[in-house]
Chains A and B, each alone.
Chain A
């Protein structure tokens, strides 16, 4: 399998930052806040690889930096340090050194993001179909009829009723809003999909169907995904490999079944032991 993404030394510091920030924070220090300068270290030296068609899980409690990682990769947040290389066909793109226009182009064409909060991923002032049309327009599909057909196909694929495509997603249930977000993210058939706590807060039956949908998509389109969650069940179901984060650092990584059955780090052992 071909490598699609390579992240090295990704860090993000909120605040002035100082030479002691990394030393003062992290899993050992058990804090995100640097005592020397008061900066918050959201992510520290995160490195990861992602191959085509692979689902990588990132687990950790809130504040562990797991969302920060995907946000910087989707250009929602700027990294303080580090590199990310995206391999697209024969091209090799250094994500953080691209100009804003190129970054926007990648977001619209080659990456997809599904947020925990549908407010972030969807425009509630336009219809569900309009949300998808927006993304298709940005990626240069301009024919009205074909946009509408494609939007309908995508919504049908993600099990949103076609009859409701002209309604605002504001009126949809939480599970349906997530489906619209997934349909929107998939509109351009991106090779990379980022999923940030997509099933958190949904009831169990809805969760199960969304997770099944994600697996089907992986199977059909061979999309590479990074799945961020605090739910070990989601990781067990979706991810082949898993990173465990705490206070901004990756403290452990491995095959998902190994991380869950033979966790090495004290924190991961506690995490696994607290699973229901």
Chain B
């Protein structure tokens, strides 16, 4: 089977001009993700797990290395080098990212937030709502909350809205950043079941989990990141 995602030699450092510092974030990362499989990133805080996900999504510009993504037509794109338009297209069609915290407009309802990715793909409003409702129910978000903005929701409820938004359009590659950190055991269980379902559907997943149990249960491969090596300042 050909990998969906093949990362090699990925490094990221931040150059802070004001403070005149180079901050290493991750270095020499090697990761592969296959369709229908879950690769878990583990490692201590500060080992750059989230940075790897953000580099794949290009919220961070990788400092070096390659991030090869294979799309439906078997075309390989280096996400580290791809044009902004290509990245936007892949974000819309192929790559989903569930970040640690829900970022959304304070005036949009939970259901509207959930179905955003479907509408962006041109799914009709009615169909999008139907799929959104199904998913929220599956994630055990109480129906009375669907029409409300998530600002007043609990951490776990917000996290499930965030997950729903990331999963609703069934991306080919899913990036998960601690999707269960504020969930109780019951809802964690339903999230784990949902992840198992979408794995079976062929979605490739790269995930960071708070609970070691989930890594054992869901991961087909585990990659442990080390704290990054200090970077040498570039000669000026």
- A residues whose Cβ falls under 8 Å from a Cβ of B: 1, 51, 208, 212, 219, 237, 240-241, 254-255, 257-258, 261-262, 264-266, 269-270, 273
Contacts and interface: CB of A to CB of B under 8 A. Distances in A.
A212 B18 CA distance: 35
Interface string B98-117: 00000001010000000000
Query: What's the dominant secondary structure at chain A's contact region?
Result: helix
Given A51-B85, A262-B54, 6 more contacts: A1-B85, A208-B107, A255-B87, A257-B59, A261-B54, A269-B16
B18 A255 contact: no
A262 B14 contact: yes
Given A261-B54, A262-B61, A255 B17 contact: no
Range class of the B interface residue count: 10 to 19
Contacts, number: 40
Nearest to B20: A266
Given A241-B84, A255-B88, A270 B60 contact: no
B214 to A, nearest CB: 27
B88 A262 contact: no
B85 A254 contact: no
A254 B60 CA distance: 10
A23 B125 CA distance: 53
Given A255-B84, A262-B61, A269 B18 contact: yes
Which 3 interchain pairs have the tightest Cβ spacing? A266-B17, A262-B60, A257-B59
B131 interface: no
Interface string B27-59: 000000000000000000000000000100011
B187 to A, nearest CB: 28
Nearest to A208: B107
Nearest to A236: B103
A261 B59 contact: yes
Nearest to B14: A262
Nearest to B19: A269
B84 A270 contact: no
A7 to B, nearest CB: 16
B84 A273 contact: no
Given A266-B17, A269-B16, A269-B17, A261 B60 contact: yes
10 contacts: A212-B107, A241-B88, A254-B61, A255-B84, A258-B58, A258-B61, A262-B14, A262-B61, A265-B17, A269-B18
A230 B87 CA distance: 25
Nearest to B25: A262
A264 B16 CA distance: 8
A266 B20 CA distance: 10
B25 to A, nearest CB: 10
Contacts of B85: 1, 51
A222 to B, nearest CB: 11
A241 B58 CA distance: 12
A258 B107 contact: no
Contacts of A240: 88
B107 A264 contact: no
Contacts of B59: 255, 257-258, 261-262
B220 to A, nearest CB: 29
A273 B60 contact: no
Nearest to A3: B85
B88 A264 contact: no
Contacts of B61: 254, 258, 262, 264
A67 B133 CA distance: 44
Contacts of B16: 269
A9 B233 CA distance: 33
Interface string B1-37: 0000000000000111110000000000000000000
Nearest to A242: B84
Contacts of A266: 17-18
Nearest to B51: A262
Contacts of A237: 105
A159 to B, nearest CB: 15
Contacts of A212: 107
Contact of A273 (B14, B18, B105, B119): B18
A208 B106 CA distance: 10
